[in-house]
Chains A and B, each alone.
Chain A
Amino acid sequence: MSKERFSVIIDGARSPIVLKNSPLLGIRSDDLAAVVIKELVNRNPEISKSLVEDHVVGCAFPEGPQGMLMAKGISILADLPTESAAKIVNRFCGSSMDAAHQVSQAIQSGDYDCGIASGVEDMFSVPMGGFNPSFNPTLYENEYYIGMGETAENLAKELEISRDDQEAFAIHSHEKALSAIFDGRFDNEIVAIEFNSNTVSVDEGPREPNIEKIKSLAPAFDADGTITAATSSPVSLGAASLLITSNMLAEESGVKAKFRIKSRAVAGVDWRVMGSGPLPATEKALAKAGLTINDIDVIELNEAFAAQSLYVIRKGGWEIDKINLNGGAIALGHPLGCSGARLLVTLMNVMEQKELTFGLATMCIGSGQGIATIIERIN
């Protein structure tokens, strides 16, 4: 009788996420991602890098310095074997979670046994919207190009999520992240990055909240709205990567695989309320895994906006204490194409630290989508 075939995550790593004025600004996305991947490969010698058949890289704006099929370029810079293939995947904010899905799918279907899923975004070098934006008049009429802040305002209005609640959520995100940094809980997921003789090894976003300043900010997107810069995820730069194999390969290599990818799902929603995307995506992922939300021990929910996160939590009836234990994107930053892989790296870390079994990572996607991944820690 043949054994069940599934995909497992051997390990994950990421760069620190940095904000404007960072000493890392100016580093190329491909160089940054390559450093993370090299470290990931080096610290897992049991899986020979010659086994990596494909490298899938998520990036939301793969143009300019992130263009020219950056995935293969990163592979070369990271010394992956010439024989391994590479591709870019774009599902906006869900790009690198989708990259992980694609590698997982290929492994599960038997196409290959080992792949790397990465994500990277430099939001300072390539502007949101790209260098030469061009809108379709019909889609414009249909508000397809609606600003992300506005979509979050729509959600805040629907559930009457107050500015105070959003600010409390954001402050809590910073507090959790600061305490994680203080306790060294990010240490084994972050790879220190050196650039222009500066080394950065800590996320730059989390800071002691300045309540007075937070309260004094003007609404950022709608003068009559509730969302401010303090309750939005900041523009940032970062890279993350995951080494994924089949359970068979892991076994043959004598590696004790830590995480099984239990289920994957994507879903579409109205683009004017794109922030609700995690709800249907999670529902699908739970159904495929044969689980309910109550079975999930911990959740990494991408914090595009505090209002959007609170919408998902309230509407889905999720337990807030299970969410983003080490802080979320409002504190850490949300480098679009990097975030999906970053959530999975952080999720694995949290599950190991707390010895939990089922974890969910999910995020909303501009254009009106949601994506979700459920992983299981293997004892």
Chain B
Amino acid sequence: MEINRVGILGAGLMGAQIAAHLTNAKIPVYAFDMSQEIAEKGIEAATKIKPAAFYSPKNAEMITPFNYDDHLDKLKECDWIIEVIAEKIEWKHGLYEKIAPHVNSNTILTSNTSGLAASILVEGMDASLKKRFFITHFFNPPRYMKLVEIITHRDTDQSLIKPIADFLENNLGKGVVYAKDTPNFVANRIGVFGMMATLEEAYKRNLSIEDVDALTGTLIGRPKSATFRTADIVGLDTLSFVAKTAYDNCLDDEERDAFKLPDYITKMFENNWLGQKSGQGFYKKIEKGVIHSIDLKTLEYTPQSKSKYASVRIARENVNPAKRFNAMVNGNDVAGEFIWAVTSRALLYSANRLPEIADDIVNIDNAMKWGFAWTKGPFEMWDDLGVLQTINRMKLEGRVMPEWVDQMTNSGFTKFYDYIDGKECYYDPESNAYQPVVKSEKEFSFNILKQNNKLIKHDWSASLVDLGDGVAGVEFHSVLKADLNPIDGSILQSIQNAINWVKDRGYNGLVISGDSTNFSAGANLNLILNAAQRKDWDGIELISKYMQDIMQNVRFSSFPVVAAPFGLVLGGGYEVIGACDKIIAAAESYIGLVEVGVGLIPGAGGNLRMLRNISEKIKSTMPGAFPVVQKVFEVVGFAKVATSAKKAQAYGYLRKSDEIIINRGHLLHRAKQVVLEMAPSYQTPAMETFKLPGTSGRLVLDASIKGFLKSKKISEHDAHIAKKLGYVLTGGDKGGPFSPVDEQYLLDIEREAFVSLSGEPKSIARIEYMLAKGKPLRN
């Protein structure tokens, strides 16, 4: 079956955002609500929401607003209908009854409920529609959260599940978890238990809100918003609702009492301190930049004060997240004990939920990673901590393991996951054996390849891996910041080695990508800062030249090089992909040349790539066309970061010939295919020349810089940087409408500007500030 149009019932916050994401996948949507006005307003609201629901607000044109009274006949045109109305069973039943006569005989109907049972939702539904009904539970915000839980009921026609699951994975980029029809399904059941247990353990130990968040965030592989900040974002009302659902319905749950709302939450609820939506919750913004936290005992808001813990200091010495986590649960102070308490409870709780809420541990782990943004699922974490030690410790504390875990360890299996014959496998209690993790053939990663002995050469921050079929891949995995991959010497050297290796072996081509969260957040600023502080200008010149040369080597290699970026792709990260023949970008790529923010301009060919891309885009035949330069100047000069790969195309970071892949997991597979497609007829590109406006155009930019400065829209130093940028983009002293300049000349003047700026005290201050605070300094 093909899905060409989707109907959304309920254009509220969630419904409109799901509709928005469907348009991101180029699927037209009919969005229904009680009245035409409500439907229109819902769509309008989705265009304004942050983070953006649409790749481009223009997508909203693909959603047609309708109302239930006049337009139900339009449902006939929909292949899939998703109901996203309020969680009131009688409303849902009423709506299903109302639409039933208008739904095509092969259309699939799903509900986005987060709490109501599928078996109850289908009560009273006619047999034919019942067969085509199940739950597809998206997570908020649906564009960004990978998880969709699918829950069927007794009469669901199972043959309809696969087309929807495939559509979710391939077209919407989602990850599907198969959950059973139990209260709160998988992610919310475990996730909200985790939060409630965290509240309980924190309260017991008198830990402050801010300390709990510092301990339960990125330190242990959870999102930055950790526990209380997440609660404020989600809203205490939602959290309470989910907890209450579990308490009321999970009568045999061994941790049922954990779902009982503590008094302080009840009181906060009464005060309407629900979090972000009511202006205050666990945190309260007092004024700009001043946020107080609530004291759980007195319910007063007081200034935050963060405690220092020895266990945290020791744990932080580990760059490897698994080792850091291990150090943390073994810490000897209150922080260590707290983390152990919440972790061990979460692990045990998850283990006890099998097979109650899902058939296997893979679905549970995926649910937590995709729905709650944990970097690892509970069973993966358990493996990291060491299964036997952890079980021993829990048993010493008097806790009882579920039978299946004892069965596993008694059978001599000491891990939940293992690689067998290069295949990722999980422990399956029913067969008491490891079974392969079922994945689409498009799911491909460096990690799996390395488990299959495909590693060619490992370096600190990057590896060369054999992707098969004569394609090699460079994987970025920074030794210092694995999640940000700053471009360092090891990465550059690895790229150069890869080029040589592919050439020597006669391989088809090369892919540059990685497995982590972000492709690369830019060049290693520490390197430049250290050299600048030593006044080692030659050193900086060398760094810039080295990067430029390697990028040009990528560009002029005799085989196709394809970049597959994702997440942050900033500064030097962009300059790497800009040099490649083709870019296969994850839809969620945030690309930007942001050097101006640290007082520099792109120094490894970024300017050149942008001039080329925008020239192609504007396709002006006029020599020295100013609009090209002006556009690049605006994008680079204002350090614009694209909020999606689609937006990056509009800015000119990506070209029309580049591809956007909605499912991050399919990225590497597609990049490899593209190398194989390009290789047979590949020709090394020729050195390009550019007809730029020269001095006459530079003066136009200078005049606007002057205006910006005079009106204080930019600082003196901004103006100084902008003038340097203008000089490079207009072709320096040699460029002009009738005196073309080549790539090397542009690289030379770019480098000169880069080196000179890196010596400016105000640029150095910007770099220092960025390294210390992670945000740009306006000086």
A interface residue numbers (CB < 8 A to B):
129, 131-137, 140, 145, 147, 149-150, 218-223
Contacts and interface: CB of A to CB of B under 8 A. Distances in A.
B700 A133 contact: yes
A292 to B, nearest CB: 39
A344 to B, nearest CB: 32
Contact of A133 (B697, B706, B711, B712): B697
A132 B711 contact: no
Contacts of A220: 711
B710 A223 contact: yes
Interface in B698-728: 699-700, 702-703, 706-707, 710-712
A136 B696 CA distance: 6
Contacts of A219: 711
Interface in B277-307: none
26 contacts: A129-B700, A131-B626, A132-B626, A132-B627, A132-B693, A133-B626, A133-B697, A134-B626, A134-B693, A134-B700, A135-B697, A135-B699, A135-B703, A136-B696, A137-B695, A137-B699, A140-B699, A140-B703, A145-B700, A145-B703, A147-B706, A218-B711, A219-B711, A222-B710, A223-B711, A223-B712
Nearest to B696: A134
Nearest to B693: A134
Contacts of B695: 137
Nearest to A135: B699
B396 interface: no
Contacts of A134: 624, 626, 693, 696-697, 700
Interface string B612-643: 00000000001011110000000000000000
B181 to A, nearest CB: 51
Ranked nearest first, the 9 interchain pairs of A and B with the lowest CB-CB distance are A223-B712, A135-B699, A134-B696, A133-B700, A140-B699, A132-B626, A222-B710, A147-B707, A145-B703
Which interface residue of A135, A147, A219, A222 has the most chain B CB atoms within 10 A? A135
B711 A222 contact: yes
Contacts of A145: 699-700, 703
Given A131-B627, A132-B627, 13 more contacts: A132-B625, A134-B626, A134-B700, A145-B699, A145-B700, A145-B703, A147-B703, A147-B707, A150-B707, A219-B711, A221-B710, A222-B710, A223-B711
Contacts of A135: 696-697, 699-700, 703
Contact of B707 (A132, A218, A221): A221
A376 B693 CA distance: 50
A337 to B, nearest CB: 21
A219 B713 CA distance: 10
Contacts of B624: 134
Contacts of B710: 150, 221-223
Contacts of A150: 707, 710
User: Which of A132, A133, A220 is the most central at the interface, judged by chain B CB atoms within 10 Å of its CB?
Assistant: A132
A140 B700 CA distance: 9
Contacts of A136: 696
Nearest to B713: A223
A372 B29 CA distance: 59
Contacts of A222: 710-711
A33 to B, nearest CB: 26
A222 B709 CA distance: 8
A150 B702 CA distance: 15
Interface string B669-708: 0000000000000000000000001011101101100110
Contacts of A149: 707
A218 B712 CA distance: 10
Contacts of A221: 707, 710-711
A104 B699 CA distance: 39
A137 B622 CA distance: 21
A140 B711 CA distance: 19
Nearest to B627: A131
A87 B590 CA distance: 50
Nearest to B620: A132
Contacts of B711: 218-223
Nearest to B707: A147
Nearest to A220: B711
Nearest to A141: B699
A366 to B, nearest CB: 13
B699 A132 contact: no
A198 to B, nearest CB: 19
A137 B695 CA distance: 8
Nearest to B698: A135
Contacts of B706: 147
A150 B707 CA distance: 8
A220 B707 CA distance: 9
A310 B707 CA distance: 23
Nearest to A223: B712
A137 B698 CA distance: 10
Contact of B622 (A132, A218, A223): A132
A54 B706 CA distance: 43
Contact of B696 (A131, A137, A147): A137
A135 B711 CA distance: 22
A120 B293 CA distance: 60
B708 to A, nearest CB: 10
Contacts of A137: 695-696, 699
A204 B503 CA distance: 66
A131 B625 CA distance: 9
Contacts of A132: 622, 625-627, 693
A132 B623 CA distance: 10
Contacts of B700: 129, 133-135, 145
Contacts of A131: 626-627
B29 to A, nearest CB: 25
B629 to A, nearest CB: 10
Nearest to B700: A133
Interface string B626-665: 1100000000000000000000000000000000000000
